[in-house]
């Protein structure tokens, strides 16, 4: 028995039921989850790899790993899509570590090696600025509540669209936009300011 395409959205959100059935070995339930989340996972990986074929391969690997580990998934306030996105992110990072995916950034031609001291100093200063910026972002994110922080991380660090973020968080697009707006407003507020 195959599930119709509209079975996923009919009668509320049967995702917990599909996951429960998939955990018992129901292949049709896992197939429905696959069809429901394929575009999200593929889009997530395509943005990062910038390579359609590699994104397709990694997407298949995400679902292969998810099928193998479906019994390890448990509902802890996050949607099934968030779990898949985490697997995708880990696979992408593994791919970067293997060096098969190389993101090339054009740089200026090398200058005279006699001036290497200034270039090395500039590189160190840029690295320090990047570390300071990373720390500032992490500190700022900790001023947000858990839902706002998760939303901002998905939207701006993982570069998901509002629709993809809504799916990953198990919320509506409007709720994601509201969370994003409130989080950004809170981040813009100077420290020590009190909201009225």
Helices (H), the chain: 15-23, 27-49, 52-68, 80-98, 116-141, 146-152, 162-169, 173-188
CA 79/CA 154 separation, integer angstroms: 13
Q: Which of 33, 98, 43 is nearest to 66 (CA)?
A: 33
CA 97/CA 31 separation, integer angstroms: 30
Q: Which domains occur in the chain, in start order? A: 1-103 (1.10.1740.10), 115-196 (1.10.10.10)
- Please provide the DSSP assignment of 116-132 as one string: HHHHHHHHHHHHHHHHH
What pLDDT is recorded for position 120? Answer: 64
Task: Retrieve residue 19's tokens.
Answer: 């996951």
Average pLDDT per consecutive 10 residues, the chain (196 residues; last block may be shorter): 37 73 90 92 88 92 93 75 90 79 47 52 70 71 85 80 85 91 84 46
What pLDDT is recorded for position 38? Answer: 93
For residue 113, the Cα-to-chain-centroid distance in whole angstroms is 41
What pLDDT is recorded for position 77? Answer: 61
Task: Retrieve residue 12's tokens.
Answer: 């509320």
The total of other beta-carbon atoms located within 10 Å of residue 127's CB is 10
CA 92/CA 96 separation, integer angstroms: 6
């Amino acid at each position: 028995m195959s599930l119709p395409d509209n079975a996923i959205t009919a009668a509320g959100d049967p995702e917990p039921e599909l996951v429960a059935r998939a955990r018992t070995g129901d292949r049709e339930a896992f197939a429905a989850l696959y069809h429901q989340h394929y575009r999200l996972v593929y889009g997530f990986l395509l943005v990062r790899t910038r390579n359609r074929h590699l994104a397709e391969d990694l997407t298949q690997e995400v679902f292969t790993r998810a099928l193998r580990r479906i019994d390890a998934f448990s509902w802890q306030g996050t949607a099934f899509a968030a779990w898949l996105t985490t697997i995708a992110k880990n696979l992408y990072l593994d791919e970067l570590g293997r060096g098969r995916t190389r993101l090339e950034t054009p740089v200026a031609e090398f200058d005279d090696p006699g001036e290497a001291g200034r270039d090395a100093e500039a590189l160190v200063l840029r690295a320090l600025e990047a570390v300071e910026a990373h720390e500032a972002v992490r500190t700022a994110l900790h001023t947000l509540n858990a839902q706002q922080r998760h939303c901002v991380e998905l939207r701006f660090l993982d570069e998901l669209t509002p629709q993809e973020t809504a799916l990953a968080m198990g919320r509506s697009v409007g709720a994601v936009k509201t969370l994003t707006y409130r989080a950004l407003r809170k981040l813009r507020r100077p420290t020590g300011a009190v909201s009225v």
